[in-house]
Amino acid sequence: MKAMHLFVVCIIVMFLGREQRSNEYTIGAIYNLEGSQASLDSPSAKGAELAVQIINAQGGIRGKKLKLILEDGKSDPAVIKKVTEKLIKDDNVPVIIGFSDTDMVLASAPIAAEHEVIFITSGATSPKLPEQVPTYLYLSCFGDNVQAAVVAEYAFSRLGLHSCFMLTDENMDFTRLLSKYFIKRYSELGGEIIKESFFQGGTNNVQDIINEIIVLDQQPAMLFVSAGPNDVGNIIKQIRMAGITQPICGGDSYDTPLLIKTAGEYADNIYFATHFMVKEYTDDVYFTSPPAGEQEDSDKTIMEFITAYKNTYGTLPSSSFAALGYDAVMLVAEIYKRAIRLNPDGLFSTLSHIRDFPGVTGTISYNEDQKIPQKGVTLIKISNREQIFLESLVPSKIPAP
């Protein structure tokens, strides 16, 4: 009887912990503050911490403080698995947010799903993730098929670039998928892929691939370089030093100050897709007429974020990934506010019915079958080491995951 009584007590304690019956609500977060993903994840972590500060300064949620338990994954799957288990088993978090890369998510989210813990990735953009980790995994960012389609359509139709040489890091899910979706949409439009070459992520020298480009009988109108954040600046620098001047296009891994820092004077004639650009909203010329309706609400959310970030950190956000981390925490806070029951089933049900939640990086909506929000894509050009906002677009056609 004593053993049975102890067992029942343990079950009750575990249940109460997961129901968030303490004096605070918790969110687990894993971001890579070291290693190959740090230039994307560190801004996300700062954005997430800022969101918690703002929520608590406004009185918290239902009279309770929000607590972010942040762990460093160190860009190492083994470390990520360890800290995921720690957040679940030791900290009893019902929700985990994090990461800007698919491979990193896949080291963590399956463990969370086994324990019926919701995982929301703020910046990993593979549209295959909800299939790979069923039920408990959501994206709060757009998918790679969306950003790749926008770049393909803009390059072909707006820039008139009708032939392309592809460089793809074969080691990352993100880079392989981004290239796949770009090729699909670009080819549908009539674009010609002259050749696709592959390299190993982390390599310091891509001269062999550069030589392939130089000796081509038909020179491409553009290059699409699908690379991780640590590699892209170095690769672009080598390409430009070889005298190759065609436009270079890519995805949101370009959205890091590391690119311009590494490429230096060679950071020019570059186009990339990302989630949000601060400069779009801080330029004096942005508002040609007063915003109204839904646009006014969206702009209010964005300006509140930018103002709070600058007041807290003394500078503007360095990339859109800060806003992605911020949005993920605000989304979880919204779940806590709306949920009738704060057990895993209650939180999961609430998340699956989120509609029209105004994030900095776009409106977030889900349903039972759709776990990736449909957002617009921000296009940026780098000209003479300066980032220039082009426009925000949605693709006319999205490749299937």
Q: How many CB atoms lie within 10 A of CB 294?
A: 11
Please name every residue paired with 226 in a beta bridge, in sequence order, or none if there are none.
Answer: 168
Cα dihedral 345, 351, 352, 358, rounded to 10, equals: 170
Residues 252 and 389 in one domain: yes
pLDDT confidence of residue 299 = 82
Write the secondary structure of 219-280 as one string of H (helix), E (strand) and C (coil). CCCEEEEECCCCCHHHHHHHHHHCCCCCCEEECHHHCCHHHHHHHHHHCCCEEEEECCCHHH
Whether 281 maps to a domain, the answer reads no
pLDDT at 289 over 80: no
The single residue listed with the structure tokens 């690379």 is: 227
Q: Which amino acid is at 347?
A: L
Question: Which run of H or of E encompasses 28?
Answer: strand 24-31
CA distance 223 to 51: 38
The number of distinct structural domains making up the chain is 2
Q: Indicate the DSSP class of residue 368.
A: S
Quick check: helix, strand or coil at residue 198? strand
Residues 199 and 245 in one domain: yes
Structure tokens belonging to residue 282: 């801080």
Q: How many CB atoms lie within 10 A of CB 222?
A: 23
Q: Which amino acid is at 229?
A: P
pLDDT at 343 over 90: no
Instruction: Give per-residue pLDDT as tens, 349-382.
Output: 999 999 999 999 999 999 768 999 999 999 999 9
Q: What is the pTM assigned to this prediction?
A: 0.91
Percent of the chain at pLDDT > 90 equals: 86
Whether 288 maps to a domain, the answer reads no
Instruction: Give per-residue pLDDT as tens, 135-192.
Output: 999 999 999 999 999 999 999 999 999 999 999 999 999 999 999 999 999 999 999 9
Residues 74 and 211 in one domain: no
Residues 170 and 34 in one domain: no
Q: Is 314 left (phi over 0), alpha (psi -120 to 50) or beta?
A: left
- Nearest 5 degrees, angle CA 96-CA 100-CA 104? 70
More confident residue, 193 or 294: 193
Q: Indicate the DSSP class of residue 313.
A: H
Residues 6+ apart with CB under 8 A from 43: 317, 318, 319, 321, 322, 325
pLDDT confidence of residue 13 = 43
Please name every residue paired with 389 in a beta bridge, in sequence order, or none if there are none.
Answer: 380
Which residue range(s) make up the domain with 172? 145-274+379-393
Whether 11 maps to a domain, the answer reads yes
Residues 28 and 137 in one domain: yes
CA distance 365 to 124: 17
Residues 87 and 105 in one domain: yes
CA distance 323 to 283: 18
Greatest mean pLDDT among 6-10, 54-58, 368-372: 54-58
Q: Indicate the DSSP class of residue 323.
A: H
Residues 350 and 387 in one domain: no
Residues 44 and 107 in one domain: yes
Go through 354-380 and write b for each residue having 16 or more CB atoms within 10 A of its CB, e for each that does not: beebbbbbbbbebeeeebbbebbbbbb
pLDDT at 195 over 50: yes
- Helix axes 38-57 and 320-338, enclosed angle (nearest 10): 40
Whether 189 maps to a domain, the answer reads yes
CA distance 325 to 318: 13
pLDDT at 288 over 60: no
Q: Look up the CATH number of the domain holding residue 355.
A: 3.40.50.2300
Quick one: pLDDT band at residue 284, thresholds 50, 70, 90? very low
Question: Which run of H or of E encompasses 293?
Answer: helix 293-313
- Nearest 5 degrees, angle CA 28-CA 29-CA 32? 150
CA distance 75 to 38: 7
Residues 136 and 198 in one domain: no
For all residues of the chain together, what is the average pLDDT?
91
CA distance 98 to 394: 25
Residues 275-302 have a mean pLDDT of 62
Residues 116 and 94 in one domain: yes
Please name every residue paired with 138 in a beta bridge, in sequence order, or none if there are none.
Answer: 120
Look at the chain and count its residues.
401
Instruction: Give per-residue pLDDT as tens, 218-271.
Output: 999 999 999 999 999 999 999 999 999 999 999 999 999 999 999 999 999 999
Whether 216 maps to a domain, the answer reads yes
